[in-house]
Copies of this chain bind each other. A is one copy, B any other.
Amino acid sequence: MKVGILGATGYTGQELVRLLQQHPEAQIIFLGSSSSAGATYENMFPQFMDSQLGKLQDEQVPEVDVLFCALPHGLTAARTAEWLKRGIKVIDLGADFRLKDPEVYHTWYKIEHPAPELIPEAVYGIPELYREEIRGKSLVANPGCFPTASILGLAPLLKKNLIVANSIIIDAKSGVSGAGRGASLGTHFSEVNENFKAYGVAEHRHTPEIEQQLSLAAGHSFRVSFTPHLVPMIRGILATIYAQVEDGVSEDTLRECWQEAYQDEEFVHILPQGMWPQTKYALSSNHVFLQLKLDERTGRVIIVSAIDNLVKGAAGQAIQNMNIISGFPENMGLGARGIWP
């Protein structure tokens, strides 16, 4: 199967290449880049030296079966209709098709949505929640990294009305790769290392995406507090989530709800009681690690969810979605476990 990548020089693009090289069915025939067309991919990214990946091309997309778009928001939606018309299946790793309401998109992303008529065509690509809807779709909105970690922890509990929706607080922490490959003072080693900070407080763009999906799970609309932080590490997201439990809900009930939801999910691991997720468990893999505890003193459940932001939070989940829409086993090419240490 022929695949292409738009935005092949970013971190998500590189991660797609790394993972697709391990995929037995996918063949990368197109690496597109607006800024680096003409450059030899392996000379820019020597980890792939002697891989025969060829040169970066411009953004003219050739005949591919699946196209991965790892572009800034706004750039994918404008061209998607054309690709779909040509029979190309599109997996958008950007934000263009994640929000169902173009006005919400406008409010948070500050531009008019370039193709609102396509929004209903898109499916939100968390297979653990929407596997059946994804099958047969041609346009997948691959979720954001923070939403993936947050939603996997919360959605089953909200569906069963076990927690109080509007009490939810998500305190999330991300490695620096989440900010992309662009150089700035904010990603400068000397400014980031031995440092820790919050950012985008009460205004991060993943907020409406999380709210949309959690509201769908709960069956009613509500708002969450979401605060991202920057950790002096490269990869990984850990979300610490607080919620009041509904009256009479026990820790066992919460745990059983998760177990039921995830018993057949090979990428989701509910850790043994008392063992808390670490981001490194997921490093370089598509796996998710979950734990919770009901604090009887306060009546709040504390949920911790950990993923690799570039794999389950981006490229890995995108390939998981590719497998589903292409009829491959869902785990094809994604079997590797996290590297340690």
Chain A contacts to B: CB under 8 angstroms: 11, 14-15, 18, 21-22, 43, 45-51, 166, 169, 171, 173, 175-177, 181, 183-185, 187-199, 201-202, 223-225, 227, 229, 231-236, 238, 240, 242, 266, 269, 271-272, 275-285, 287, 289, 293, 295, 297-298, 300, 302, 304, 306, 335-341
Contacts and interface: CB of A to CB of B under 8 A. Distances in A.
B233 A194 contact: yes
Given A232-B232, A233-B195, A341-B11, A201 B276 contact: yes
Contacts of A43: 272, 275
The quantity of this chain's copies bound in the complex is 4
Contacts of A188: 181, 183, 187-189
A280 B225 contact: no
A39 B28 CA distance: 42
B189 A335 contact: no
Contact of A173 (B184, B191, B196, B280): B196
A289 B112 CA distance: 38
Contact of A335 (B21, B45, B49, B341): B21
A85 to B, nearest CB: 35
5 contacts: A11-B190, A46-B281, A181-B190, A193-B234, A198-B302
